[in-house]
C-alpha cells in the first residue's frame, strides 16, 4: 500500500529525504523520525463512526466487508463495539474516511 502523506508538500519533501538517506547523508533514525512526522496518523474509530462511514458510502455490511477483506461478522462486531479495528483494517478505514470507497476499489 502506498504511503499516505499529510499533504503534497510533505510527500515531495519526504521523497527528497529518502534520496538523502539512500546516499547515506542522513541516518536511519532521522529517517524514522521524519516518517513519523510526514505520514498521516491513524486514529481509532468509534463504532458509530464506522457505521456512519459505511452508510455514507451506501454499502451493506457484507459488501463493505468485501471491500476491506474482512468478514461481515467482523464489521458487525466493530459497529456494535464488540471488537475494534486495528492495523491494516484501521488504515483502510482511515483512507475510506478521507477519500471515499473508490480509493480502495
Residue range 50-77, pLDDT digits in tens: 999 999 999 999 999 999 999 999 999 9
CATH superfamily of 47-103: lambda repressor-like DNA-binding domains (1.10.260.40)
Can you read off the three cell numbers belonging to residue 73?
461478522
Residue range 7-33, pLDDT digits in tens: 777 778 878 888 888 888 888 888 888
Our CA dihedral for 14, 45, 72, 96, rounded to 10 degrees, sits at: -40
3-state secondary structure at position 102: helix
- The residues facing 39 across adjacent strands are 5
3-state secondary structure at position 25: coil
**pTM for this entry:** 0.68
3-state secondary structure at position 103: helix
Segments making up each domain of the chain, as ranges:
8-38, 47-103
Per the listing, cell 476499489 goes with 105
DSSP H helices, 1-105, are 8-22, 28-38, 47-56, 61-68, 72-80, 87-99
Amino acid at each position: 500500500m502506498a504511503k499516505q502523506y499529510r499533504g503534497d508538500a510533505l510527500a515531495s519533501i519526504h521523497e527528497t529525504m529518502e534520496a538523502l538517506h539512500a546516499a547515506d547523508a542522513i541516518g536511519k533514525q532521522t529517517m524514522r523520525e521524519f516518517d513519523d512526522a510526514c505520514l498521516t496518523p491513524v486514529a481509532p474509530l468509534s463504532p458509530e463512526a464506522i457505521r456512519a462511514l459505511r452508510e455514507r458510502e451506501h454499502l451493506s455490511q457484507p459488501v463493505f466487508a468485501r471491500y476491506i477483506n474482512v468478514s461481515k461478522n467482523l464489521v458487525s462486531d466493530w459497529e456494535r463495539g464488540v471488537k475494534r479495528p486495528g492495523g491494516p483494517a484501521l488504515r483502510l478505514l482511515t483512507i475510506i474516511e478521507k477519500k471515499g470507497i473508490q480509493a480502495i476499489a
